[in-house]
Amino acid sequence: MEIRDGTAETTKHAVRVALFWGVVVVAAAFVVLAAASVTGPAWLLVLGYAGHGAKDLWQHRRRYVAQTRWWPPFCLVVDWIVALVIAMEIVAGVHLHQ
């Protein structure tokens, strides 16, 4: 492949920058959700864990994590089980906030 005027390298850099900021935005959203769940409804915890599991599913399907391919599916299962358990506790009437 012939590179003219560094176009391919510029494109790679732009993709890396966009990916970096995408990760920052997603991480910030999870931090805000976690902070809101401290005093907000416990359903925010369910939403946070389920959303994190969905992010793990995306990472696994897109092969985002290269060195530890087993981690996203493992984390996905743990996140969704925790979300399910918390949802079942809420429905059963357990008060999670003191």
Instruction: Grade residue 4 by pLDDT with cuts at 50, 70 and 90.
Output: low
CA torsion through residues 71, 42, 21, 1, sign: positive
Q: What is the spatial distance between Cα 55 and Cα 64, in angstroms, rounded to a whole number?
A: 10
Does residue 3 have a pLDDT over 80?
Answer: no
Res 88: pLDDT: 97
Q: What is the spatial distance between Cα 87 and Cα 92, in angstroms, rounded to a whole number?
A: 9
- Sketch the domain layout of the chain as residue ranges: 7-92
Q: Find tokens 């991480």 and name the residue.
A: 27
Chain-centre distance for alpha carbon 58: 9
22-43: pLDDT as tens digits: 889 999 999 999 999 988 999 9
Element holding 51 (H helix, E strand):
helix 43-61
70-84: pLDDT as tens digits: 888 999 999 999 999
What average pLDDT score do residues 37-57 get?
A: 93
